Structure 1
Amino acid sequence: MAGPVLVGRDDDLAALYAFVRRALTGTSALVLAGDPGVGKTALLDAAAGHAASLGMRILPMSGAEFEAELAFAGLHQLVSTLPGAEVASPLAVALGMAEGPPPGRSEVVDAVAALLSAAQPLLVTVDDLHWLDRPSAMVLDEVAQRPLGRVGLLFAMRGEQAGHVAGADVRVVRPLSDDAAGRLLEERYPAMTSAVRRRLLDDARGNPLALLELPAALTPARTGDTVPERLREVFAARVSALPHATRQALLLAALESPAPLELFESARDLAPAERLGLVDLTGDAVVFRHPLTRSAVVAVSALDERRHAHTVLAERMRDRPDRHAWHLAQTAAEPDEHIALLLEDAALHARKRGDTAGAVSALIRAAELSGAVNDRGRRLAEAAYIGALADGQLRRVPELLEEVRTGDELPSLEIAVAAAHYLLFSGEGDIDTAHRLLAGALEMQKLDEPDDTVTDAVITLGWVCYFGGGPRWWEAFHHITARMGELPPLVERLRAFCADPARTALSTLDDLDRVIAGWDDHVPPVDLVRTGLTGIYVDRLASCREPLLRLWKRPGLPATAELHTLSLLALERLAASAWDETVEFADEHVRLADAHGYSLLRCLGLYPRAMVAAGRGDDRAVTELTNRIIGWAAPRGATMLSTLAAQALSLAAIGRGDHESAYRHASSVSPPGELASHVPAAPLFVLDLVESALRLGLRDEAVAHVKAARAARLEEISPRYVLLVGAAEALCGSASFEDALAGPGVDEWPFEHARVLLLHGEQLRRARKNQVARVQLARAQKIFAGLGAGIWVARVERELRPADAHRPGGELTAQQLTIVRMAAEGLTNKEIAQRLNLSARTVATHLYQVFPKLGVSSRAGLRDALERLDRT
């Protein structure tokens, strides 16, 4: 059976059909990533049709924005599409289908894996992976790494980085080419005039859904409107035009998706939406044809309408107590003890199913609806208690449990801190719940004279916000710290240097420098580590190196302190371009994190390795490491980790000359013309964004970004920002490279220094100043060669060829010159081969060939020969 005809998607379809064929012989997983409306759902359907024609069973799933907090909603869909299948006890308990002891996640993963294996040959399709509930996403992430037999797992999600599945290949679905977009319009709207067609092509920018839907709403586009925004308006207008009864029925379906038809008094109310192609009623449930329709239904509804819909759903779902309680909770505008009690029961049921995160979320919502302060505190403490109990490795857990068993008043704030540590750092990685838990507990405290417990709680909340990434997380932190009066020093440093350092660091930098200078061996490890962490984005780690090394060697260091110390030492070595040492510290960090179950901290160890791989041009390692980081971070909302992965991806793309990808990654972190609010890593992307923008012809964007960096006075934070911002400004023509390179301490940042030397050499050569260009390029080449940055050495070589055309020794290739420099520094053939990813025999052959060109007969003469060469 031939697949559906999708204009301009021949390559995508070929890749999908090949994926399906691979799944017929063994387990295979693939993620389709792209913007809303770019055609991911159509490609999923095409793959499913092809798989069905080959005799495979199809299990469709879809995430729903309004059910993202409902634990195991995705796995419920999976099981419901396999009627009669034998569901193993752990999975049945997790889904509330049976009674039994609470299962661990590994047991649920085993049960799902067994279920899928029994149904092979099988294709599982998961649309809107980014909206799938976190427990289901985590289970599928682990299942995708298992050998399941003839099973394919095909995911679709928004964006190019969020929500990758560990071990899965990723295929980015791009907008249609201009030619394909034109053909699609011509086929769908043959009578359209050329002027209208041209305007649509400009507006849609290759987005297939926009090409098909925008003709129905040909109005002038507002400046700055994106394609997804305009599409949402189209769908919203379509929904708003429906009869009132239809919109009310659609709202029920959107808030309980997929909604069984039995929930509706009459399917006739949905008929107008079905005729417009907004929903599909062919099965036993209401299925939205496109996620934007579901979002539009909720977006056009009023708050009272949503509350009424939740009330109706709660009434019609009395036979499902947990869903009944959840819908009732959405109707409450003020404290309601009856609903709070129902949520407590739901939390108990969730806990029995092994859904710790679901139990904590239900209790936190119950606390929010509590009328009495004591009930609120009790429920928050119980939520914290459950979270803390789930991690036997937390050192505070035994003491907390003893206090609970003796019947004393629950120390809710202490338990909240313990639970937040578990939720943040463990495999759960539940940023949202940890944030709500701590913020809720702190709101109940007297903060004007904070004790150690309150200070610890505020600092923990700050780190939760930091890993969450972005301003919405920090609002509660800023509100709480505003109530504290004079902030404790560690809290003030966290606020100044980890929340939004581009805007807040300058006023307290001198204080940080004084504190670091005054360190001795009597400083408590936790204070030293916490202060060191605040120095990351203001380049103070070099000053911290010696105290951190002494701390690392201290016997009896707690695991968390050792992990943070290793992380800081790896980052300090990365900044100093000591890449071999960077990898050593990072590898030890990852090993220790694995041993203690600290999944989030493990990702912090993968990041320096990814950066080194990017600098050395090892694209395969960069892809593997960043997918592992993003695969863990994205489903858990740890945006900061995805930002770090984007830095490695951006650098790798620039190294290989893929400026479109580099610009995409850099601008996803901080849009051109601004340093994103509460994204502490945003200043690190300034040179990447400006260079890639200019090479793509986006001069206005590049200039605007330099202005933003100057407005933030980044150059006053550290010499590295003097170098990076100065180079970006020089690229735009408003400053000189000489000024950037003359800044203080440029040698402290060898890789960045070499990169700016290369950019300067490129500019000089294009100005036909070959002799001066050669000096700068040779300096860059020497640094890159010493780092083993082969891809950057090759880039220098391309510039040196014309500049060296008539120079003695110019017949040496850049790779040969790199090998010579390494040999002159005393490296063996084997060591050179390992750094440049060559064989030792190849290195020996190159040396044999270049000795006569340099007039030497042995390695002993190489250093003098290089000095003569550099003087010419």
Structure 2
Amino acid sequence: MINLLPSPSARGSLTARASGSVPTAEHALAQSRPHGSSGRLFGRSAELALVDALFAKASARGASLFLTGTAGVGKSALLDAAARRAAQRGFRVVRAAGARFDQNVGFAGLNQILLPLADELGSLPARQAHTLQVILGLSAGEPEEPSAVASAVRGLLSRIGTRSNPLALVIDDYASLDRPSAVVLGTLALHIGTGCVALLAACGREEDLLPGTWTPVHEVPPLDPKSAMELVAEHFPAMTPTVRRRLLTEACGNPLALLELPVPLSLAQQTQRHSLPVVLPLTERLRTIFSERVGALPEATRRLLLLAVLDGSGELHLVPRAGDGPATLAELSPAERAGLVRVDARARRMVFRHPLTRSAVLELSTSAERRWAHRALADVLPEGSEQRALHLARATVGPDDRVAALLHEAAYTALRRGDGAGAVSALLRASELSSSGSARGRILAEAACLSANVTGELRTVRALLDDVMAVDPLGGTSPAAAAAAAGELLHRDGDADGAHRLLVAAIAGHSPRRPAEDVMLGEALHTLLTVCSFSGRPELWHSFDTVLARCGPHAPDPLLPVLRGALGDPAHAALPVLPRLDELISGLHRQTDPARIVRTAAGGAHVDRLPDCHGALLRVVEDGRDGGAVASAIPALLLLADDAYAGGRWDDVIELTDEALDWCATRDYRLQAWPARLLQGLLAAARGDGEAARNIADRLASWGNPRGLGALRVHSSRIKTLSTLGRGDFDSAYRHLTNISPANRPAPHVPHALSLIWDFTEAATRTGHHAEAAAHLAAVRDAGIPSVSPRLAMITQAATALADPHAVDRDLFDEAIATPGAERWPFDLARIRLGYGERLRRVQASVAARPHLEAAHSTFERLGAAPWSARAAGELRASGQAQAPVAPVAGGPVAGGPVAGGPVAGGPVAPLTPQEWQSAQLAATGLTNKQIAAQLFLSHRTVATHLSSAFRKLEIVSRAGLRDALTGLDQHLARPMNGAARSGRITVK
């Protein structure tokens, strides 16, 4: 028979269509690449190295290699790449592929190899040429024995494959070749060394090779996780990382599975707007691969596998009891022999060798079989267990209030152990099983509440609430419905007033009658607390206090009073609740509820307890990445980013906030995006990117102000404060700070006021507001703020020393710097050291100032805090330091190397004094004389004198020439100023 196919690469698909069979998994993988894809391989460097070595050897002497591996692992893709590489090396490439349709056609596979080489038959001896011509159908006669054919093929290939023109035979699906062709090629592989020929073939298992085929074999492994993630990301760029990780778990590195599993998923599922099914569905290609062996099992074995899949635990103690008795465990043997499962009889555990086998078992079962299995499992599970309720619900058809009640209880069991998604799923099924409209409405409202505030399914909340109103119009007034609706209004639209009205109306006069209602009341109160936090308005906080007081000593959640003090007004109300907060934080390692972890950690955010919450918050983030409580994972990321900012891990801040912003965009949590942007704005300000900081600050204000979100106004002012302080504009910084808090005290209900004690003191003292600074610090001490945390004690002590206009209290500064653990807050500590050094240099204690200025400069350089590094470097130069590199400041002066005297454009100049240099450098940034005076602790008249002298020495006539004149200027500073006493108070004259 003559096979005249268009090309070897097309042959597999054409044959399959003609026979009605399905292409091999390897061909499916090759065909599954999107049109225009580069076809590049991921994670196959080791295999490609083996292929290159094969071709290098074959260039001088024949060589062979067989690739084996499970279906879909990518052997065909490797052969494609190998063929391209062989052609690039100058090989003549001939390809062939086995097909089940041709397995009974003698020499069908060999036919594919010989046809492209038919013109070379004339070079063979007549008998060998005739033998191959018969195989090709070019001459009449019966085919010779495989051994004679093999000899003729070897003779042909040895003549064709030469050093100048080597030959590569690339054969796919060797196991599906007809047996005569397989025998000939096996013989060729055994005696490949007679010519410059490379034989590269692929088959499923090494056992598929004919006995006696002694040739190198390499098993192609599954992709490693990194390569698998890259493959999915390239082909499905819109898919979220969480869904990709789920696919990686299910596919176990199988490239075909990685490319096929997303196909049945909707875009909403791929982007996490809808949850994924418990068992992923299979495409036709995957079903062919994974269902074939399952379908060949005895019925009893398949029933046991179905029980094991639906049980999901891997424990075998339930399966025999749910089947026909203890003896049924032996029925798993066929599945074990088929390589589908691995059974450990001693540990009584069973593991599916590939997760997609579970999907195949389910796909091959009927709905009646699945209901039987769920009922059988429920019958052997203990009364009152969560799993029993779930199995009963899946086995039930039609309303059943008893099962609905069991499932409703199971939902809250799942919620307590942190499975918010499982709780919502159970509630939705319980609503379907409820016979009355009021019960259905109540349960749907609870599901909507958890979707908005726990699982992060904000986009489903409105549809659920519409369903509530459809079945029970009165259900929309419950705390659960109010918490759901308020969560949607707040997080999506930022409508704090609308959310507040809904919650207060629903909570007022409500007395819980069931434990679930108590939980929902607690959710409503937590949502109200979030509304008050973002609003920052005293009148909203007063309404919260009224509602909480109405609950009396039996509040639905004892965490609420703690959060009211530590989160609502930490400057004035944190101290009484700190012991209870510390107790709760110490138990976070045992806590499983993500919402509880995040709420507790949020209470510690403004009182410096976040480092102790780090491990628990990471667990919440990982849970969200795995498809769990995303609504908790977003604030968990932000709390971790807040801790990273305080701890000087600024690169982590960008990574964490970017991930949070991705989730906010995917899940429509628009309000939560703004705290992430606050941290990015603070980082931009600290690093000198003034334009980015200003843009973020303006966006915060423009979104928050019309909605009455005071917290966003505070965020905007914080960013502007830090940016102006960095460039020495203390007047502007003071104005921004007084927009946050009154000058004489930290404002109530403004938690961020605790972070601004040093900022306020520095801005006030540099602008002559000494009385305001003293009053502010007195209020801080009176409120007991230094007792809240060591960091706040350090800052308060240093700020008190900085605020004294008459003396430098070195004892206070030194004690602040010596605070145990001060290095945990590097930016705060460096700013204190900078302020200390500036004050010492002002009183001519330059030698004593330098260690503090050097330490500050080093920290600022490490953090990339360019404006602060420039300030520290300028102070070092002014103190007489000969060398002080200055990091360039965005929009600031050219901060080039050491200060030096020497020629500039106008010729030689006299050396500048330290004060002249520093005044000129600040003037070059655009600061006014008054602003320069505030930064250098001088009068504006003195600054004018220094600048006039600098202009004369630099031979310029205006500020416009300062930047160019200072560039490259080499200035050897005057002799160092004498240090003052090493301790005590130094009087400022």
TM-score, with length taken from structure 2: 0.43
Larger relative contact order, structure 1 or 2 (CA cutoff 8 Å, min sep 6): 1
TM-score, with length taken from structure 1: 0.48
Q: Which is greater in Rg?
A: 2
